[in-house]
């Protein structure tokens, strides 16, 4: 087959087709299989090689069969066959390498490199495996031998990140971007590294890179710090204002005072327009004085920076779109949903204050393969469900919620982001049997920040479990009592002042932010919109948990814990160092870890679980 490989390397596919025609049937089918593999048609390749094997079963054909099985994702069969072939040729480096593609760990790769030393592809795969196992020092040695190979530089940066050397990682990524300005992966790692470092070298290339990658994870979080260093980069600030809610107290204060000046001397500009759309998203929660509001009429250019525009008021197309056309579309969409039960205080809260207020989705890489069917229970305004649709592009995604206002926000965003295959339904997750359209079971059920708002969370969890397919998985999110303890003073004050309009209540809370008891509040994104504030401090019904309570609830629902999701790598590393990797699924150890680092689950406990065996 050497001449076949040579033609393949030279890209002479039509010569190969001709060669196949003039070869024996066995040889011809074998060549066609190799060609189909090169063309990324694994099923055709498998078909050809199986037909050739019916005629003759040489070592070379069985080897190609193993590669075809690998390409078709039939890993176990491929591994079994490779083990058989290795008994015949234990010094065959390619066989070891292919085996390494299906077997975890480093053993097969080390064998491959023993048989064929100085093999860049195998060395780089070994570096990746070592990185996965947290053996970073050795990983670095292997990768640094091969830095000229495409992709190796990024692996080096990721290893350096994993070693906690975030500033070095950022420098490496900047170097990569200098050589390959379109490398989005390097840009993304740059942002992650700067975020993890919590500071950055005063290199204006960071601001340049942010401008090119604003939809990458972490980018928008960096804008406030970058803006503090380069305030003249007004474009970056405007991009943030149009895409997300500013959740940075010093920046909000600056914007508030800029708005006051603009109110006095309105000069149409990019920032005024961006702030008008931003403030619509955060429900005009910034602090304001009676003086600023006095005499402010809809035809004043500053009006949409303070309140939603009424119909007919003059404004730019962007402001009209956000202030008038999008809400009108939501009213239209609301007709398709049955009205919600206003008796239920939780439904009423989310009808009045749909949550969360959001604009853009992160640029999440899609995940191949399963799940086929996903349910998002309590989808709110849709960000979560639409992220699922992005993450699982081949899956059917169903999303339900109690609140029509949330669902129409979600449906409008689905239209805008062209993710209309998500099916939104108004339904109570406690009464799934009444939702006739809903499929009977799902491979994945996600419910983040929902069950702890039910009167009976365990019953809600059981209702969801009843729709889980055999071997299905769940991703759940619950409040941590310990992580939210610091909110107590703010909660007490909010509760005492709950008669105030939310904007006034927020101003009152903001006046306390300098005190030790309240400073914590500024770290919660929910502080930066009115619906968020209500969700955070004035919820109609919520319960908080510790990890033993959660463990018991999972057990009672017949579930077992499958690991936390979304924790920063530095947290996982700290846990592994303290308790060992084998304890990652041990909630008792996590409880001790949380005792020692109470802010670990400030976002929430977000974790995977699945039905317990038996
Ligand atoms: C805090 S929001 C979370 C939204 C979304 N999961 C997210 O993370 O962005 C809680 C949502 O759960 C919904 N919800 C509460 N109880 C529900 C129930 N019994 N059935 C369906 N949805 C419910 C609320 O209407 C609200 O939209």
Identify the band that residue 7 occupies on the pLDDT scale cut at 50, 70 and 90. Answer: confident
| DSSP letter assigned to residue 322 | I
Which ligand 1 atom is at minimum distance from the Cα of 347? 25
What are 111-120's pLDDT values in tens digits? 999 999 999 9
**Residue 404 in contact with ligand 1 by CB distance below 6 A:** no
| Distance from Cα 241 to the centre of ligand 1, integer Å | 26
- Which pLDDT score, from 0 to 100, does residue 9 have? 84
| Distance from Cα 386 to the centre of ligand 1, integer Å | 15
**Residue 401 in contact with ligand 1 by CB distance below 6 A:** yes
Structure tokens at 377: 């229970």
Could you give all domains of the chain from N- to C-terminal order, each with its CATH number? 2-143 (1.25.40.10), 249-329 (no CATH), 348-478 (3.40.50.150), 485-537 (no CATH), 547-611 (no CATH)
Distance CA 591, CA 599 (A): 12
| Distance from Cα 341 to the centre of ligand 1, integer Å | 14
**Residue 450 in contact with ligand 1 by CB distance below 6 A:** yes
| Distance from Cα 454 to the centre of ligand 1, integer Å | 9
Residue 201 pLDDT exceeds 90: no
- Which pLDDT score, from 0 to 100, does residue 145 have? 96
**Residue 252 in contact with ligand 1 by CB distance below 6 A:** no
| Distance from Cα 566 to the centre of ligand 1, integer Å | 20
Which ligand 1 atom is at minimum distance from the Cα of 383? 9
Establish whether the linkage from the previous residue to 414 is cis, with ω within 30° of 0.
no
Which ligand 1 atom is at minimum distance from the Cα of 535? 1
| Percent of the chain residues past pLDDT 70, beyond the cut | 100
- Which pLDDT score, from 0 to 100, does residue 339 have? 82
**Residue 63 in contact with ligand 1 by CB distance below 6 A:** no
**Residue 350 in contact with ligand 1 by CB distance below 6 A:** yes
| Distance from Cα 142 to the centre of ligand 1, integer Å | 48
| Distance from Cα 445 to the centre of ligand 1, integer Å | 14
Helix (H, G, I), strand (E, B) or coil at 598: coil
Distance CA 561, CA 473 (A): 10
**Residue 354 in contact with ligand 1 by CB distance below 6 A:** no
Distance CA 597, CA 483 (A): 9
- Which pLDDT score, from 0 to 100, does residue 369 have? 67
Residue 454 pLDDT exceeds 80: yes
| DSSP letter assigned to residue 513 | T
| Distance from Cα 329 to the centre of ligand 1, integer Å | 22
| Distance from Cα 344 to the centre of ligand 1, integer Å | 13
According to DSSP, the residues that pair with 422 across neighbouring strands are 397
The ipTM is 0.99
In this structure, how many other beta carbons lie within 10 angstroms of the beta carbon of residue 254?
A: 17
What are 299-312's pLDDT values in tens digits? 999 999 999 999 99
359: nearest Cα among 456, 281, 440: 281
Residue 236, Ramachandran bin (φ over 0: left; ψ between -120 and 50: alpha; else beta): alpha
| Distance from Cα 354 to the centre of ligand 1, integer Å | 9
Which ligand 1 atom is at minimum distance from the Cα of 428? 20
* Residue bearing the CA closest to ligand 1, atom 27: 380
* Residue bearing the CA closest to ligand 1, atom 4: 380
* Residue 281 CA from chain centroid, whole number: 21
Calculate the alpha carbon distances from 355 to 63, 346, 378, 595 in Å.
Answer: 55, 12, 11, 30
Which ligand 1 atom is at minimum distance from the Cα of 406? 27
Average the pLDDT over 72-95 and give the result: 94
What are 393-449's pLDDT values in tens digits? 999 999 999 999 999 999 999 999 999 999 999 999 999 988 889 999 999 999 999
**Residue 243 in contact with ligand 1 by CB distance below 6 A:** no
| Distance from Cα 308 to the centre of ligand 1, integer Å | 26
Could you tell me the strand order of the sheet in which 468-478 lies?
A: 422-426, 396-401, 373-377, 442-448, 468-478, 605-611, 559-564
According to DSSP, the residues that pair with 606 across neighbouring strands are 477
Distance CA 312, CA 297 (A): 13
Which ligand 1 atom is at minimum distance from the Cα of 376? 6
**Residue 402 in contact with ligand 1 by CB distance below 6 A:** yes
224: nearest Cα among 197, 244, 201, 203: 244
**Residue 356 in contact with ligand 1 by CB distance below 6 A:** yes
Calculate the alpha carbon distances from 99 to 75, 80, 108, 144, 431 in Å.
Answer: 9, 9, 6, 24, 49
| Residues 6+ positions from 591 with CB-CB distance below 8 Å | 546, 547, 548
Distance CA 595, CA 482 (A): 8
| Residues 6+ positions from 152 with CB-CB distance below 8 Å | 124, 143, 146
Identify the band that residue 1 occupies on the pLDDT scale cut at 50, 70 and 90. Answer: confident
- Which pLDDT score, from 0 to 100, does residue 344 have? 87
Distance CA 382, CA 400 (A): 9
**Residue 380 in contact with ligand 1 by CB distance below 6 A:** yes
Mutation choice for ligand 1 from 349, 351, 400, 401, CB with most ligand atoms inside 8 A: 401
- Which pLDDT score, from 0 to 100, does residue 159 have? 96
- Which pLDDT score, from 0 to 100, does residue 27 have? 93
| Distance from Cα 422 to the centre of ligand 1, integer Å | 16
162: nearest Cα among 209, 128, 121, 124: 128
**Residue 430 in contact with ligand 1 by CB distance below 6 A:** yes
**Residue 428 in contact with ligand 1 by CB distance below 6 A:** yes
Distance CA 25, CA 224 (A): 67
| Residues 6+ positions from 565 with CB-CB distance below 8 Å | 475, 606, 607, 608
Distance CA 44, CA 38 (A): 11
Mutation choice for ligand 1 from 402, 463, 605, CB with most ligand atoms inside 8 A: 402
**Residue 403 in contact with ligand 1 by CB distance below 6 A:** yes
Distance CA 533, CA 509 (A): 10
| Distance from Cα 380 to the centre of ligand 1, integer Å | 5
**Residue 406 in contact with ligand 1 by CB distance below 6 A:** yes
Q: Are 62 and 30 in contact (CB under 8 A)?
A: no
- Which pLDDT score, from 0 to 100, does residue 119 have? 96
Which ligand 1 atom is at minimum distance from the Cα of 429? 20
Which ligand 1 atom is at minimum distance from the Cα of 403? 25
| DSSP letter assigned to residue 325 | I
**Residue 479 in contact with ligand 1 by CB distance below 6 A:** no
| Distance from Cα 275 to the centre of ligand 1, integer Å | 29
Residue 59 pLDDT exceeds 80: yes
Average the pLDDT over 125-144 and give the result: 94
**Residue 387 in contact with ligand 1 by CB distance below 6 A:** no
**Residue 94 in contact with ligand 1 by CB distance below 6 A:** no
Residue 342 pLDDT exceeds 80: no
In this structure, how many other beta carbons lie within 10 angstroms of the beta carbon of residue 444?
A: 23
| Distance from Cα 387 to the centre of ligand 1, integer Å | 16
* Residue bearing the CA closest to ligand 1, atom 14: 378
In this structure, how many other beta carbons lie within 10 angstroms of the beta carbon of residue 462?
A: 16
Distance CA 98, CA 18 (A): 29
What are 355-407's pLDDT values in tens digits? 999 999 887 778 876 799 999 999 999 999 999 999 999 999 999 999 999 99
Calculate the average pLDDT of the chain.
94
Distance CA 450, CA 102 (A): 38
Specify the pairing of strand 396-401 against strand 605-611.
unpaired
What are 534-553's pLDDT values in tens digits? 999 999 899 999 999 999 99
Residue 249 pLDDT exceeds 70: yes
Average the pLDDT over 89-99 and give the result: 96
């Amino acid at each position: 087959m050497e001449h076949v490989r040579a033609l393949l390397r030279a890209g002479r596919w039509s010569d190969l087709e001709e060669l196949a025609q003039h070869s024996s049937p066995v040889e011809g089918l074998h060549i066609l299989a190799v060609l189909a593999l090169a063309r990324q048609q694994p099923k055709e390749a498998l078909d050809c090689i199986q037909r050739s094997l019916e005629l003759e079963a040489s070592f070379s054909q069985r080897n190609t069969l193993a590669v075809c099985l690998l390409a078709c994702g039939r890993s176990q069969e491929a591994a079994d066959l490779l083990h058989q072939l290795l008994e015949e040729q234990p010094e065959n480096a390619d066989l070891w390498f292919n085996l390494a593609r299906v077997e975890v760990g480093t053993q097969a790769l080390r064998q491959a490199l023993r048989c064929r030393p100085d093999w860049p592809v195998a060395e780089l795969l070994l570096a990746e495996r070592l990185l996965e196992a947290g053996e970073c020092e050795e990983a670095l040695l292997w990768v640094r031998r091969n830095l000229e190979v495409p992709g190796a530089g990024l692996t080096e940066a990721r290893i350096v990140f994993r070693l906690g050397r975030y500033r070095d990682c950022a420098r490496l990524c900047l170097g990569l971007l200098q050589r390959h300005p379109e490398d989005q992966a390097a840009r993304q790692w740059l942002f992650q590294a700067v975020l993890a470092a919590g500071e950055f070298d005063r290199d204006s290339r960071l601001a340049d890179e942010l401008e090119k990658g604003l939809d990458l994870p972490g980018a928008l979080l960096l804008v406030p710090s970058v803006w503090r260093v380069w305030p003249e980069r007004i474009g970056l600030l405007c991009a943030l204002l149009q895409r997300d809610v500013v959740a940075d107290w010093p920046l909000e204060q600056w914007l508030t005072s800029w708005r006051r000046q603009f109110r006095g001397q309105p000069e149409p500009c990019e920032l005024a327009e961006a702030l008008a759309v931003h403030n619509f998203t955060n429900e005009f929660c910034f602090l304001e004085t009676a003086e600023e509001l006095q005499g402010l009429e809809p035809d004043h250019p500053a009006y949409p920076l303070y309140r939603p525009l009424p119909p007919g008021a003059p404004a730019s197309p962007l402001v009209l779109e956000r202030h008038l056309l999008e809400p009108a579309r939501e009213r239209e969409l609301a007709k398709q949903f049955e009205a919600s039960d206003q008796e239920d205080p939780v439904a009423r809260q989310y009808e009045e204050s749909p949550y969360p207020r959001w604009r853009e989705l992160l640029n999440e890489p899609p995940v191949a393969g399963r799940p086929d069917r996903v349910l998002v229970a309590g989808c709110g305004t849709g960000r979560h469900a639409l992220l699922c649709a992005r993450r699982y592009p081949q899956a059917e995604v169903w999303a339900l919620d109690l609140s029509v206002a949330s669902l129409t926000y979600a449906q409008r965003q689905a239209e805008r982001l062209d993710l209309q295959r998500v099916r939104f339904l108004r339904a109570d997750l406690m009464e799934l049997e009444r939702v006739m359209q809903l499929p009977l079971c799902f491979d994945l059920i996600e419910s983040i920040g929902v069950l702890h708002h039910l009167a009976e969370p365990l019953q809600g969890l059981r209702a969801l479990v009843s729709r889980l397919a055999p071997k299905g998985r769940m991703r759940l999110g619950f409040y941590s009592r310990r992580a939210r303890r610091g909110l107590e003073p703010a909660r007490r004050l909010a509760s005492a002042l709950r008669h105030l309009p939310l904007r006034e209540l927020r101003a009152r809370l903001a006046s306390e932010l300098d005190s030790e008891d309240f400073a914590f509040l500024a770290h919660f994104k929910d502080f930066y919109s009115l619906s968020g504030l209500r969700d955070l401090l004035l919820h109609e019904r919520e319960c908080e948990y510790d990890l033993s309570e959660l463990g018991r609830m999972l057990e009672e629902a017949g579930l077992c814990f499958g690991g936390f999701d979304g924790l920063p790598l530095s947290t996982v590393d700290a846990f592994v160092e303290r308790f060992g990797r084998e304890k990652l699924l041990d909630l008792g150890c996590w409880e001790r870890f949380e005792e020692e680092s109470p802010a670990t689950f400030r976002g929430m406990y977000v974790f995977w679980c699945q039905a317990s065996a038996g």
